[in-house]
Structure 1
Amino acid sequence: MPPKALPVDVSHRSRIAITLPLLAAAALALAHPRAHAGTDKLLLTGGVTTIDGAAGGGLTPWAVIGTNATEGEFGVAATASVVSTRNYTMQVQGLMLAFDDRVEVSIARQDFATEATGRALGLPGLHLKTIVFGAKARLFGDAVLDSDRWLPQVAAGVEWKQADAGGLDPTLHALGARTNGVDVYVSATKLFLAQGILVNGTLRATKANQNGLLGFGGTGNDRYRLEPEFSAAWLANRKLAFGAEYRRKPDNLNPSPLGAGLKEDDWWDVFTAWAPTKSISLTVAWVQLGHIVPAVATKKQDGGYASAQIAF
């Protein structure tokens, strides 16, 4: 028998639904006009926005601070992204605030449609939803000003995630997974400005299953694991960049009573980012997300990614 759906916490979802608009209003109120004026930040050197809301690539955060804010300025950025693979579709909306090119806070809301997989599990229309609150602080270094030195820009960040797996929650609880968790990471970003090359390495402590969509921890592992993430980008010109990302992930639900049916693979992508203006950036990518619930969706999940960001 498929697990019964849990009662819907309407008040909780309502609070989440109004969070982004309220933060957007606050952001616009905080963003002083001088943050909208001619910013000195070079195009694309602040990255775009990850699916978790932090500045970086699409899959992994970088040490850079997002928005167009430089020293002494407030900045705000909003983003919308979609990922479409063989069996799944995920939509993400995010909002980011930054100050002084040193501190960044963000919120992202993810909606993962299970489509045919949900129907096969006896849960038609199942959506896995996660809200992510993030904060990042630059510790030392400056990716642009130190581009002629070997010193990278280094930042530390934290992401608090709350998952709602709907009718799949009872199954995840039975497998030892919790509905909320915290990721902590350190990123180092080095920009070789003369060569137009950017490289980033991130080390993440996490218990997240499929980035938190399937909860945190489980019978296979309930300890934090350190997982590396890497990015590299070539700035072909001041408006166009090409790159790739790799993100290693834990496998907390494998093995389980379902055998390897919840096996988790690493993620990677190749991307193109274009910034036609200082306020707008567009990103497209081909992503490989590996197996996601291979007990039902037997093929690896590859597909397209598109994201639009507006920043001030």
Structure 2
Amino acid sequence: MRGKHIKTVMVGGIFLCATPIMAAEGKLLATAGLSQLEGSGGGGLVPWATLAGYDSRDETAASLFITDVNVTDYRLTSMGVATSLYDRVELSYTQQTFVLPASLVTGLSLDSEEIKQDVIGVKVRLYGDAVYSLYPQVSVGLQHKQLDNDFVASYLGAKDDSGTDFYVAATKVHLGAVAGYNLVWNLTARATKANEMGLLGYGGPDNSGYQVMMEGSIGLLLSPNWVVGMEYRQKPSNLSSVEEDDWKDVFVSYMPNKNVNFTAAYADLGTVATQKNQKGVYLSMTGYLW
């Protein structure tokens, strides 16, 4: 079923590439960023202060995305939709599907190899513009997450099967900053109780309260259509039973027009649920409906 979803979105991406009239005209190409794993506009691992669309102050925008992360022992698929309203408010919904290795399914006598999580996001731009203001664009947001089944999370010692992350993000584009190329950076502070983004529950014996984790992205716009960069996401460590490492990636994004973008990355997630050296390929596509 997941393969059918991916093929459908790929066909949609080809259609969007061929129909440039569908895009909003409010912002410069690439300033909408990408779709983050939890559905917020921004980078792949990190939510940015930018909103998930090209809308200006008198426009709205809507988008859909699919992301597939395939590392050594696990696979994570995120599919979601987002809307941006008048360059001020972003709303998003995402469903994440985390596929466990057969050894873990057998060892825990699980009924399914999948853990699913729903994520509802809200982001509000407070002030600034990532391109035109002297200071960064700043936004605040939240991501409320709910697991469909807490068996694995409870087995590992998590306290809850749902939780809400709160974050503040700052994003700035510096025009012609590096040998004439545009440079973009983002810094995000996230208050969270989540174990592995919430897929292993929230809180644990080592800590059950909120902790502030830092996240960052930096990218170089080689042309209006191509961006290369890297990201880093700090992670908490709440569970005595399993180690949790920070996440990082190196990415390249192609944005042929304001209707669609494609991203490929090499992701290093470290240790995930007892499995070490979780490295692999990150692929994502976002289509902008208007």
TM-score by length of 1: 0.81
The DSSP-based 3-state class of the residue aligned with 2:176 is coil
Change (3 A) 1:304 1:65: same
Q: Is the Cα–Cα contact under 8 Å of residues 63 and 138 in structure 1 kept in the other structure?
A: yes
Structure 2 matches for 1:193-232, cutoff 5 A? 193-195=175-177, 196-232=182-218
1:191 aligned to which of 165, 170, 173: 173
- Higher gyration radius (CA): 1
- Look up the match of 2:263: 283
Please state how far the C-alpha of 1:101 moved relative to its aligned partner.
Answer: 1.1
For residue 45 of structure 1, report the CA deviation from its aligned partner.
Answer: 1.1
Answering whether residue 102 of structure 2 is matched by residue 118 of structure 1, we say no
Question: 1:209 & 1:37 partners in 2: Cα distance?
Answer: 37
Cα distance, 1:70 vs structure 2:
1.4
Does residue 128 in structure 1 map to residue 115 in structure 2? yes
Equivalent pair of 2:26/2:59 in contact (CA under 8 Å): no
Name 2:139's counterpart in structure 1. 155
Q: Work out whether 1:301 is the aligned partner of 2:287.
A: no
Among 84, 100, 123, the alignment partner of 1:98 is 84
User: One-letter code of the match for 2:285?
Assistant: A
Query: How much has 1:37 moved relative to structure 2?
Result: 5.8
1:76 to 62, 68, 79: 62
The aligned amino acid for 1:291 is T
Residues 83, 305 of structure 1: 8 Å contact kept? yes
Per the alignment, residue 18 of structure 2 pairs with none
Q: Per-residue CA shift, 1:180-211, capped at 9, x if unaligned?
A: 00000000001102230001000000000000
Counterpart in 2 of 1:142?
129
Q: Deviations over 1:61-112 (max 9, x none)?
A: 0000111211210100100110000001111101001111111000110000
Q: Distance in 2 between matches of 1:206 and 1:56?
A: 18
Q: Which of 232, 248, 273 is equivalent to 1:268?
A: 248
Q: Which runs of 5+ in 1 are unaligned?
A: 1-34
Letter in 2 for 1:302: K
* 2:8 equivalent in structure 1: none
Question: What is the identity, as a one-letter code, of the residue corresponding to 1:266?
Answer: D
| Contact map agreement 2:23 2:259 (CA 8 A) in 1 | no
The structural deviation recorded for 1:166 is 5.5
The CA deviation at 1:170 is: 4.4
Contact 2:80-2:94 within 8 A present in 1 as well: yes
More strand by share: 2
Q: CA–CA distance in 2 between the matches of 1:44 and 1:128?
A: 33
Cα distance per residue 1:261-281 (max 9 Å; x no partner): x11100000001101121010
Q: Which runs of 4+ in 1 moved over 3 A?
A: 35-38
**1:247 pairs with 2:233:** yes
Q: Which residue does the alignment assign to 1:182?
A: 164
Does the aligned pair in 2 maintain the 1:127–1:166 contact within 8 Å? no
Aligned-residue offset at 1:41: 1.2
Aligned counterparts of 1:37 and 1:125: Cα–Cα separation in 2: 40
Alpha carbons of 1:123 and 1:100: their partners in 2 closer, same or farther (altered >3 Å)?
same
Structure 2: how far apart are the matches of 1:128 and 1:235? 36
Separation of aligned partners in 2, 1:37 and 1:224? 39
1:118-154, Cα deviation, whole Å (9 max, x unpaired): 23433264211110000000001001221xx2x1000
Alpha-carbon contact 1:165-1:213 (below 8 Å) kept = no
In structure 2, do the counterparts of structure 1 residues 166 and 252 end up closer, same or farther at CA, with 3 Å as the change threshold?
closer
Letter of the structure 1 residue corresponding to residue 174 of structure 2: F
**Bigger mean CA offset, 284-293 vs 39-48:** 39-48
Aligned to 2:17: none
Q: CA RMSD in A?
A: 1.5
Q: Which amino acid in 1 is paired with 2:69?
A: V
The answer for the alignment partner of 1:17 in structure 2 is none
Looking at both structures, which has the greater relative contact order when contacts are Cα pairs under 8 Å and sequence separation is at least 6? 2
